[in-house]
């Protein structure tokens, strides 16, 4: 391998690693089975706890509660509780959370394509 080619390979290796870091930062916040579905739900509007859980098949109260807390800590979601009875809690996206819209949209497009290609053949 000549010098020029070796340098080019080293470059793409470095570029690749930097991309990877950013991708991992994103995945670090969106990890687990439920965070992206939760964000998807809230991109359609503010919701109460039970409304979210109805939209996401298979999620348990425990998981939903935990994941919402994580998302709140990472400033993607905000929570407003009123001390009525039964309790009323509203979840909504922060501006930062709403900036995930394009990511979720791409996942949606890709997921539809994938379903057609693999699952629904």
For DNA, the binding residues (CB under 7 A) are 31-34, 48-51, 58-63, 65-66, 68-69, 79, 81, 85-89
Q: How far apart are CA 118 and CA 51, in angstroms?
A: 31
Q: How far apart are CA 56 and CA 50, in angstroms?
A: 10
Which residue, 21 or 81, has its beta carbon nearer to its own copies? 21
Which residue, 31 or 116, has its beta carbon nearer to DNA? 31
Q: Is the peptide bond before 86 cis (omega within 30 degrees of 0)?
A: yes
Which residue, 28 or 86, has its beta carbon nearer to its own copies? 28
Which residue, 46 or 106, has its beta carbon nearer to DNA? 46
CB of 88 to DNA, least distance (A): 5
Which single residue is written with the structure tokens 């998302």? 71
CB of 90 to its own copies, least distance (A): 15
Report the alpha-carbon angle 101-107-110, nearest 5: 140
CB of 48 to its own copies, least distance (A): 13
Coil/strand/helix, residue 34: coil
- For 19-36, b/e burial (b = at least 16 CB within 10 A) is eeeeeeeeeeebeeebbb
CB of 76 to DNA, least distance (A): 15
Q: Which does 49 bind (CB under 5 to 8 A by kind): DNA, its own copies, none?
A: DNA
């Amino acid at each position: 391998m000549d010098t020029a080619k070796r340098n080019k390979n080293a470059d793409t290796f470095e570029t690749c690693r930097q991309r990877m870091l950013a991708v991992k930062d994103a995945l670090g916040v969106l990890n687990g089975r439920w965070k992206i579905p939760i964000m998807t739900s809230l991109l359609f509007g503010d919701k109460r706890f039970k409304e979210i859980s109805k939209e996401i098949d298979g999620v348990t109260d425990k998981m939903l509660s935990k994941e919402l807390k994580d998302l709140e800590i990472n400033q993607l979601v905000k929570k407003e509780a009123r001390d009525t009875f039964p309790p009323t809690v509203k979840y909504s996206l922060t501006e930062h959370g709403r900036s995930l819209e394009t990511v979720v949209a791409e996942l949606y497009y890709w997921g539809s394509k994938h379903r057609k290609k693999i699952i629904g053949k």
